[in-house]
Every structure is written in C-alpha cells, then in structure tokens.
Amino acid sequence: MAYPTATNRLRIVKIRGVKKESPTVRTLDFRDKLCGKAKPGQFVMVWIPGVDELPMSLSAIHPNGLSSITVAEVGEATKTLNQRKPGDVLGIRGPYGTSFTPTSGRLMIVGGGTGLAPLVPLAERVVVFPTKIDFLLGAKTRDELLFLDTIEKTLSKIDARIIATTEDGSYGLWGVVTDPAERVLAKEKFDMIYACGPEQMMYKMFLKAEQHNTPLQASLERLMHCAMGLCGSCVIGKFRVCRDGPVFSSQQLREVKSEFGRFKRGFDGKRVSL
C-alpha cells in the first residue's frame, strides 16, 4: 500500500472542541481535509509537540473534514494529550491502514472501552444498507461506558438491538461483553461480526465466530512508531499492523493465531504476554 505524499506529511491542526467522555477519556475535535476522506477503522499518527507521537483511531469522520480522536489516559503522552484545550495545536499524519468493510445483512458489532471509537463511524456507514444490527458494548463501570448516546441515536431509525454490559453491574447486564455475544450467536445467524477492544476480548469473539462459521473483522492495536511499515514495531506474525491492518479478517487472523490474543511486542521488540 503506497500512501500519497500528502498523507505522510505532518499537518498542524487546531483543537476545536474537547468533550469529557469519562473520568479518564476525552474526545478531541479537529478539522483536516484528509481525515474527512478516511474510512472507518483507519488511524492517524498524532504528534503532541515536545512529548511524543501516538497512533489513534478516528472516532468521528465527516466529509467536511471535522474529525475526532478519543483518548484514554494510560501514560504520560495520553495524559498530556487529554490536558489539551480548544485552540491548542496537534500534528496529524495519515489516515493509515486498512478499514472495516461495510456490508449489509445481519450484523453484530462488539466493542469494549476505547475500542468503541472506530466502531461508531462504522455504524454510521452500515445503517444506510439493508441491515439488522446487534451492537454490544462493554466497560468496567457505567462511567466508563463510551458513546452510548451516540450509538442509540445512530441506530434509532433501523432494526437494531443495543446490549450494554458492565463488569460491576452498574449499568446494563453484569459481566463482560463476550457473554451476551456468545448467547446471541448460539441462537441467531449473522452475516458479519465487527470487533474492537481489548485483544483477549477480540480473540474470544474470533473463536466464537469460527465456531458459528461467521466471518469477522477485528481492529488490532500494536506499538507503532512510523506507521509506514518500516520499523517493524507493530509486527504480528507475518503482518505489519500499520500496513496490513489494523483491521484484519478471519482468514488473516487464522494465520497469526499463535500470537493473536497472546502476545504483543514491547519497545525492545521482544514478546510481551497480553
């Protein structure tokens, strides 16, 4: 996959809005013409001046260029990013990578935590097709359950079912999101499963999809430095997540089953257990 020069060039954008999604998660809005042409599941490299550059999924994509990233505070760089205010600037490269392939029919969308970010623009794309959607989302607590209002609004005009889970039982079903997914898959036939979230959750969904002979598309997260396939930091099996992913099909995941859901690469390139 060859990217145009404009895609790789760093663009400076101004933050237009900041929304508090949870105690540790913020959504940052900005306007960028190339991001407005992105597809659900693609990512951008976000440069925080003087700090670091991070890969981030786009959580909103609009043709007018208005786009968003949703950031969970997990380290120094993401903490700094979440402290940015409207009017502050960021550097953007991309969009990069593969995307979800929208389809019609009976669909299941499964997400957890900030893994829900790329699934929101996906839902906005698939609702225009003849579809019936089960959207399952999970979090540890009600306060950490992201995008529920947006998902409800997006799916309000089609045949859809939304199932929310929390690990402490503070909202929706008690437990993890793979529990109701398993029950639904045992009773109903689906044409496609889309998944993004903690990798062990996606691995469970992959196994269930295989068991029920249902195709799956999953968006993986890995350490990325260059986003152009040069550094090798994001390798899983024979694939580079930044170029061959981040969205992978069932067929591709079968080829990396020995690593998927089990290992990632650390800063030194060595395997780290998930």
Three-class DSSP labels, 142-155 = HHHCCCHHHHHHHH
Q: What is the pLDDT of residue 152?
A: 96
- Decide: 14 and 88 in contact? Cβ < 8 Å: yes
Q: CA-based angle 49:52:53, to the nearest 5? A: 95
pLDDT value at residue 3:
61
The fold adopted by the segment(s) 105-273 is: Rossmann fold (3.40.50)
**Which listed CATH number (2.40.30.10, 3.30.830.10, 3.40.1050.10, 1.10.3720.10) goes with 5-96?**
2.40.30.10
9, burial (CB in 10 Å: exposed 0-12, middle 13-18, buried 19+): exposed
Structure tokens at 151: 């998902």
d(CA 161, CA 132): 8
Place of tokens 């979440």: 82
Torsion of CA 239, 99, 58, 132, to 10 degrees: -130
Q: Quote the pLDDT of residue 223.
A: 80
Residue from 23, 30, 78 nearest 54 by CA: 78
pLDDT at 4: 63
Whole-angstrom distance, CA of residue 179 vs CA of residue 176? 6
- Residue 165 pLDDT: 97
Q: Nearest-5° angle of CA 88, CA 231, CA 252?
A: 100
| pLDDT score at 45 | 95
Residue 122 burial by Cβ neighbours in a 10 Å radius (0-12, 13-18, 19+): buried
> Cα torsion for 31, 217, 184, 274, to the nearest 10°?
-90
The amino acid occupying position 159 is: D
Which amino acid, residue 2?
A
Q: What is the pLDDT of residue 2?
A: 53
pLDDT of residue 222: 85
What residue type is assigned to position 93 of the chain? R
pLDDT on residue 1: 54
- The one-digit pLDDT tens for each residue of the chain (274 residues) are 556 667 889 999 999 999 999 999 999 999 999 999 999 999 999 999 889 999 999 999 999 989 999 999 988 899 999 999 999 999 999 999 999 999 999 999 999 999 999 999 999 999 999 899 999 999 999 999 999 999 999 999 899 999 999 999 999 999 999 999 999 999 999 999 999 999 999 999 999 999 999 999 999 988 887 887 778 788 888 999 999 999 999 999 999 988 888 877 777 677 777 7
Residue for token digits 């005009």?
157
Question: What pLDDT does residue 8 have?
Answer: 86
Strand order across the 173-174 sheet? 173-174, 159-166, 131-139, 105-112, 192-196, 216-219, 247-249
Domain extent listing, the chain? 5-96, 105-273
Answer yes or no: same fold for 5-96 and 105-273.
no
